[in-house]
Amino acid sequence: MLAWVVAAASCVALVGAVLVLGRERRSVTALQDQLERQERAVASVESSTDPTTPEVEPAGGAELADRLRRAVDRLEHGVVIWDVDGSELYRNQAAASLAEARDGHVLVAAAVEELLVEAATGRHVRRVVELFGPPAESFVVAASPIAPGGGGAIAVVEDRSLQRRTETVRRDFVANISHELKTPIGALGLLAETIRDEPDPEIVERLAGRMIVEADRLSRTVDDLLELSRIEFGDDAEFGTVAVLSVVAEADSRISSAAEQADIRVRIEVEADVAVEGDQRQLVSAVFNLLDNAVKYSQAGSEVVVEAVDDRDDGVVRLYVTDHGVGVPRRDLDRIFERFSRVDRARSRETGGTGLGLAIVRHVASNHGGDVQVDSTEGVGSTFTLVLPRASVAAAGRGRFAPGVVAATGAAIEEFGIDEDGFDIVDPDANLLDGMEVER
């Protein structure tokens, strides 16, 4: 048995060696061909021009230099090399584009020059250049002498923006989750301590009420975390054709009481035949969170508008949720979809949000191969856009439409069922559908 294995192994080795030899031989032949060609070329140059033409460089050296240059040009890092006399020997494409820029990147190019001057004196130097932007960017420029004692210098520029961002997200997540969980737990501890020594039943009653509020808050945070992780894994998702109106209606029914309390009207402008490819439950969760967010940050008496646009050309459905609320500062715009990110910490206590809603929306969007975007001006309002893949025409209209509930805020709740033609209102009442466009 062992002998067989050894024999087989040596066979393989032999075949391999032959193959290697063959390849070697081929490459040797190719090299010879090339050398011959070059000799011919040199000969022709010598015969056609006067003998004072500079010597042709050895082929290997020039070719190697050319390959190296092309390789370094491909690098994402910027590379600048200075000669012994301080003149520029080489600059790769990334570094060249830095120097040609007119925005903050020229400041990075300026830092490169400055560091090269220092490196040429024989010192290793490094600097972090933070650009405010927008977008905020972070570069690390490092320069070193090429030979000890300063024989030329090389500078390398590295774009650290993405790493910086990832680091910040991770750090903030840990800090935020600790804060979100600790705050209600701390409050519960304090309240329990007070209750223990409190003889007055009235005060005990009030404190117990506060404890319930804090416990609710804690359980909401944990629920949202669970929901988020479930959506992240996407285990129980059932993808199919889903009518956008049924999703919006279901989400709206969940938000209606909160909206009513805050005196905010939710206007739905979604055509009944707009359908997307997706998981009903996840989509409802996403739209609910968008509505929840819109209602929380709207001014009393204002209106939240939900619109769906069926973009046949791009094959997507765009769902817009627009509010007239406080808006989001520009610098926070790209971070609001992170877990526990908050524009205003003080306000989150008032609104009672868990800080996970928009993270859920983003995960639902990415699970569906879609996207979520936000456009906002502080003091004017925000528009969140959920982009989802539209259902194919054939599939639309006969999908697994769930019965939905429409609640125009301030009006009664009316149930309706949906048949194959779209929406069939069981008890049509024009007032109930005020502001809704239902195509029959």
Partner 1 sequence: MALESLRNEFQEQLENLRSDLIRLGAMVSETIGRGTAALLDRDLHAAQVLIDGDDVIDDFCLGLEERCCQLLALQAPIAGDLRFVLTTLRLISELERSADLMVNVCKASRRIYDVEFGPQLRGLIEQMGVEAGFLIRAAIDSYVDADTSLAAALDDIDDRLDELQVNYVQAIFTRHSDEHLGLQGAVQLAMIGRYYERIGDHAVNIGERVMYMVTGWLPEHSGSARHRLRGLGAEDDAGPDPAGGPAGGSANDGGV
Residues that bind partner 1 (CB under 8 A): 99, 102-107, 110, 131-134, 326-327, 329-331, 377-380
Tell me how far, at minimum, the Cβ of 331 lies from partner 1, in Å: 6
Tokens 């050895």 map to which residue? 58
Report the C-alpha gap between 286 and 337 in whole angstroms: 12
Helix intervals (H) in 104-200: 105-119, 161-196
Tokens at 357, concatenated: 């809603």
Q: Which of 343, 268, 327 is nearest to 294 (CA)?
A: 327
What is the secondary structure of 15-63 as a DSSP string? HHHHHHHHHHHHHHHHHHHHHHHHHHHHHHHHHHS-TTSPPPPPHHHHH
> Count of CB atoms within 10 A of residue 351's CB?
16
Tell me how far, at minimum, the Cβ of 79 lies from partner 1, in Å: 20
Of residues 21 and 380, the one with the C-beta less far from partner 1: 380
Report the C-alpha gap between 196 and 210 in whole angstroms: 15
Mention every residue, 6+ apart, whose C-beta is less than 8 A from residue 156: 77, 78, 79, 141, 142, 143
Of residues 211 and 343, the one with the C-beta less far from partner 1: 343
Of residues 319 and 326, the one with the C-beta less far from partner 1: 326
What letter represents residue 383's amino acid? T
Report the C-alpha gap between 357 and 225 in whole angstroms: 10
Of residues 134 and 209, the one with the C-beta less far from partner 1: 134
Tell me how far, at minimum, the Cβ of 134 lies from partner 1, in Å: 7
Tell me how far, at minimum, the Cβ of 169 lies from partner 1, in Å: 19
Of residues 140 and 326, the one with the C-beta less far from partner 1: 326
Of residues 109 and 287, the one with the C-beta less far from partner 1: 109
Tokens at 258, concatenated: 């909160």
Of residues 96 and 188, the one with the C-beta less far from partner 1: 96
Tell me how far, at minimum, the Cβ of 267 lies from partner 1, in Å: 22
Of residues 68 and 101, the one with the C-beta less far from partner 1: 101
Q: Which of 419, 81, 366 is nearest to 246 (CA)?
A: 419
Tell me how far, at minimum, the Cβ of 208 lies from partner 1, in Å: 35
Tell me how far, at minimum, the Cβ of 380 lies from partner 1, in Å: 6
Tell me how far, at minimum, the Cβ of 105 lies from partner 1, in Å: 8
Tell me how far, at minimum, the Cβ of 20 lies from partner 1, in Å: 53
| Cα angle for residues 127, 129, 132 (degrees, 5° grid) | 165
Of residues 38 and 383, the one with the C-beta less far from partner 1: 383
Burial class (CB in 10 A: 0-12, 13-18, 19+), 93: middle
Report the C-alpha gap between 396 and 317 in whole angstroms: 13
Tell me how far, at minimum, the Cβ of 387 lies from partner 1, in Å: 25
Q: Which of 357, 355, 321 is nearest to 341 (CA)?
A: 355
Distances (CA, A) of 11 to 18, 23, 40, 73, 143: 11, 18, 43, 44, 52
DSSP category for residue 147:
S
Of residues 133 and 417, the one with the C-beta less far from partner 1: 133
